[in-house]
């Protein structure tokens, strides 16, 4: 047998690593026949399924804890908003009451002189106008008459 000189460049005519050579299938078959896969330990598949299920349970538990924290935060925010709304409503009612009282103390004497009425008659008339306005607003809202 003659000895071949391999002193040429290493990469000369090199084949790309992902190229498939015609004798690769034969080599794969020979390796499969010569090298049998090692046997799996007993209960391997059960352990694999258990590990997968445990991972899913852990992910589910983490997701549940995250969602519960988010729900708790939203409840705290909602309660804080509710309390803030109650405080603002009470402040608005108090401010409106003082404003109405101040306006009434200025307007009532002028209205009494202008309409030539005593305080009882003027009070009854103002109350009737306010109640009538409230009834119109409620009935209009109830039957959709005031909606645009």
Blockwise average pLDDT, block size 10, the chain, 148 residues: 47 52 77 82 85 84 93 94 92 93 88 88 89 90 77
Predicted pLDDT at 35: 85
Statement to judge: residues 92 and 135 lie in one domain: no
112 within 8 A of 118, measured Cβ to Cβ: yes
Q: Directed axis angle between helix 44-115 and helix 119-142, to 10°? A: 150
Q: Which residues contact 139 (CB under 8 A, 6 or more apart)?
A: 145
Predicted pLDDT at 96: 93
Domain ranges, residue 135: 117-148
Q: Is 67 contained in some domain?
A: yes
CA distances from 117 to 52, 65, 101, 108, 131 (A): 89, 71, 20, 10, 20
Statement to judge: residues 126 and 94 lie in one domain: no
The number of domains in the chain is 2
Predicted pLDDT at 1: 44
Statement to judge: residues 93 and 144 lie in one domain: no
Q: Is 9 contained in some domain?
A: no
Q: Is 137 contained in some domain?
A: yes
CA distances from 22 to 11, 19, 26 (A): 20, 10, 8
Query: pTM for the whole thing?
Result: 0.41
Q: Is 30 contained in some domain?
A: no
Question: Residue 14's closest CA among 3, 6, 26, 2?
Answer: 6
């Amino acid at each position: 047998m003659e000895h071949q000189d391999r002193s040429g460049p290493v990469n000369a005519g090199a084949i790309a690593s992902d190229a498939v050579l015609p004798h690769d299938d034969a080599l794969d078959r020979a390796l499969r026949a010569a090298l049998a896969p090692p046997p799996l330990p007993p209960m391997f598949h059960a352990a694999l399924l258990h590990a997968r299920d445990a991972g899913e349970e852990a992910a589910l538990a983490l997701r549940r804890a995250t969602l519960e924290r988010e729900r708790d935060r939203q409840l705290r925010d909602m309660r804080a908003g509710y309390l803030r709304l109650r405080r603002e409503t009470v402040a608005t009612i108090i401010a409106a009451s003082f404003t109405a009282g101040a306006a009434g103390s200025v307007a009532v004497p002028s209205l009494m002189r202008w309409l030539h009425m005593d305080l009882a008659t003027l009070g009854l008339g103002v109350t009737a106008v306010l109640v009538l306005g409230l009834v119109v607003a409620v009935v209009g809202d109830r039957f959709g008459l005031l909606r645009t």
